Chains A and B, each alone.
Chain A
Amino acid sequence: MSALSLNRPADDPRIAGRASPRRATRRASDQLFAAVPALWLFVFFIAPLGFTVAFSFGHADFGGVRLGFTLDNYAKALSGFYLEAFLRTIRFAVTGCALCLAVAYPTAYFIARHAGRFRQVALLLVLVPYFTSFLIRVMSWQILLARGGPIEAVLNTLHLHVGPLDVLDTQTAVFIGLVYAYLPIAIIPLYVVLERIPATLVEASRDLGASSWQTFVHVILPLSRPGIATTVLLTGVPMLGELVIPSLLGGDKGVLMGQAISSQYIDSQNYALGSAMAVLVLLAIAVMVALLARLTRGFAEVSA
């Protein structure tokens, strides 16, 4: 999973695997520390996902699933309304993730390289939303974006907009919500890589005659690639299953996969079809991870 690592040099297996005088007890504790979490996560995470995969090949009976092997569910999930929802979801995740990156990068850049001694505070401020209820924040966007709501008033006062604001229950509102919800988690990995770029590299680039823009494009941007990859991973991938934001801000048009899957389970009780759609989302994730791994290839070696 090279796309995911933040490239800490101490991960070097040569350091981590060193022999010790008390090998036996040490080995016992090491195995225990690995086995307990692995077992727990296997039971409450991997096994359930396995059930989903198994059910996705099952036959849908009224309200139940007969196990077996059929691709009917996938055929259904990849046609008509559901295919549209799948493609729309991918489009939303890609766009939402790109927007998030565009907003987060300058923010992280400012915190890492310009905030000086206020760096910690600047980072903390960005994380405060995590300590409040996610749902209430999304509900507050409903208030903010509503016709006759606060944002309309502000925009009209600033003469940036005239008349009533028709944003709520549109795609735009969903994008605002997505960027909003994922922004903090997008900023952190970018901050981590940007903060680690040595000032000497930037100085060297200047001394060699590069303008600050050239330094940014040819030195800083390429070096922040692992952070960009991690950000894409932590924002774009979960967006593929986003449920609450499109339901609350997007109105009833343009259902996304998260909503489609959830309604198969909760309303239609068609577990087989719901499972097939969930597996499609997992496949889309696998493709995204593979692409990101390519993007950061070579970085693990460089930092070690």
Chain B
Amino acid sequence: MNDAVVARRRTILHVDMDMFFVAVELRRNPDLVGKPVVVGGDGARGVVAAASYEARRFGVFSAMPSVRAKRLCPHAVFLPGDHDLYSRVSDEVFEVFRTITPLVEGLSLDEAFLDVTGALRLFGDGVATGHEVRRRVKQLTNLSCSVGVASNKFLAKLASVEAKPRATRNGVEPGHEVFEVKPNHELEFLHPLPVESLWGVGPVTLEKLSALSIKTVGDLATFNARVLVNVLGDALGRHLHELAHGRDDREVEPDREAKSIGHEETFSEDIKDLDTAHDQVVRLADAVAARCRNSGVGARTISLKVKFADFKLITRSVSVESPVSTAQAMVHLIEPLLARIDFTAGVRLLGVSARSLSEPELQMSLFDDATGEGAANDLDAAWSTTTRAIDDIREKFGDSAIKPVSSLGKKRQPGSSKWGPSDI
């Protein structure tokens, strides 16, 4: 095979940082290396955000209630998590990715797709490029990562799972570091995998597939596509059928802008009345709006997320024609949603998020519309000058220098107890 052919074959890397949050903590506190470390909320209702491989040996994993993690691994070091730091380190890591290729699409703080098709000439093949990524990340950030290599995004993501170190009862087994799903051998790799490895197979779909005796991706691939579409619906049926044959032609979209900006908080005590909830929503909206403005965007959709004491989760949204970027306008839009929530059973989590982000509306309207969404945009306009002043104050004196009245006296910043409040 000549160079030209190698250079043309689409090659995607999925790079996944190894226990990222924990690794960042270990980097600033090397004494913790080799110890079981858990990052997350350590209060009664906290959840685990990340666990070191040493903690994973005891069965601790992400999203597990912290209480359970403490029972499984009582001697683990529990850290509250420092989202700002992780976010800064993530920026460093992504900068390293961009030294390999500009085609970097972040999935979260600690994983990204890299389309290295055009970079193969420099580094050799996909596997060599993967090792180069690992080498540079290690050298420049002192963090390690695992790399999946394949001809498309979906297979690359599955491949990186194979590349990861594994925690076993006997210790941590190093992984492949770089794992490639070889071209023309995709189905050999894919078909033995359980069907829930596919993107888009959640618990509900899994149940439907089980009813059809579909357990592995191979089962799915040989299943009649028409019946599949009947059972799962057109979009999902086709999507899974394509994936099961290893087909995924989605491009790596570099610099994908944030699709939403949100803050949520799990409370140490359930909220049982509208007034308290309203205060919290004002606080969360204030933080969301500030982040929108920092990113130079406004939102046309504002969502309210509510998790009840019984863990039932609902999301309600409202959309407006022109983007809003002040807390006042966001709160105005959320209020009617909030008023319809029944707080009697208790609410453990509230979240506010901004979606449909675009540049904020600067064009003013001739008509004063005192009702509905027009009012939100009018509020946005009315508060824009004050809000700019607030942003200036925060820039100079820090985020807690100026706050909504309803959150005065509260120490916590929105986002600081993302994984559940501390008991302290």
The answer on A and B forming one complex is no
Interface residues of B (CB under 8 A from A): none
Interface residues of A (CB under 8 A from B): none
